[in-house]
Amino acid sequence: MNPLGEAARARPAAGMPCAIGEAARRSGVSARMVRHYEGLGLLPAVARTGSGYRQYGEADIHSLRFIKRARDLGFSIGEIAELVGLWHNRARASASVRRVAERHLGELERRIAALQAMRGTLAHLVWCCQGDARPKCPILEDLARSN
C-alpha cells in the first residue's frame, strides 16, 4: 500500500512526461488552452504516445507557465509569440525584449487613460441624475445625443 494514496500514484514524477490534464494542472493553463497554444505554434508540437496521446515534458510545462504569465500581463498572442521566440533565442539582445514590453506598456497606458476618461464621464452623469420617479434622466439624454 502506498502511504501517499491513490492521487500520488496517479501523478507522474517530476521530469517524467505527463498527459495534457497533468500538464494543464501543473502549468495553471486549461487543457483547452494548452491545445490552443500548441495549435498557434506558441508551444512546439509535443511528443505523442503510440496511441496518439500528447506527452508533455518539463520544458513544455515551463513554456506554458511562461505563456500564462505573459497572458496575465496582458500581452497579445502576437506579442507572446515574439517573446517566446526571443526567450528561446540565446543570442537575443535584451533591447529587443524591452521594445516589445515598452510597446505593450504604451498600449496599456492608452487604455488606462481611455478608461479613466470613461469613468469621469460616467461619474458625472451619475452625479447629475436625480435617480427619482421622474422620467427626466441625464444619463439617457447623454446616450441619445448625437456627437
- Going residue by residue through the chain (147 aa), what tens digit of pLDDT does each one get? 444 444 433 445 556 889 999 999 999 999 999 999 999 999 988 888 889 889 999 999 999 999 999 999 999 999 999 999 999 999 999 999 999 999 999 999 999 999 999 999 999 999 999 889 888 999 999 999 976
31 close to 20: Cβ distance less than 8 angstroms = yes
Query: Is the domain of 20 the same as that of 62?
Result: yes
Strand partners for 18: 56
Element (H, E) at 64: helix 58-72
Residue 43 belongs to some domain of the structure: yes
Query: What pLDDT shows up at residue 2?
Result: 43
Residue 124 belongs to some domain of the structure: yes
Residue 40 belongs to some domain of the structure: yes
Residue 80 belongs to some domain of the structure: no
Could you tell me the pTM of the whole model? Answer: 0.78
Query: Is the domain of 98 the same as that of 143?
Result: yes
Residue 86 belongs to some domain of the structure: no
Domain boundaries, position 8: 1-75
Residue 60 belongs to some domain of the structure: yes
Q: Which residue has the cell 491513490?
A: 6
30: CATH: 1.10.1660.10
Backbone angles phi, psi at 110, to 5 degrees: -65, -45
**Cα(114)–Cα(119) distance, integer angstroms:** 9
39 close to 54: Cβ distance less than 8 angstroms = no
Residue 113 belongs to some domain of the structure: yes
Query: What pLDDT shows up at residue 15?
Result: 66
**Cα(113)–Cα(109) distance, integer angstroms:** 6
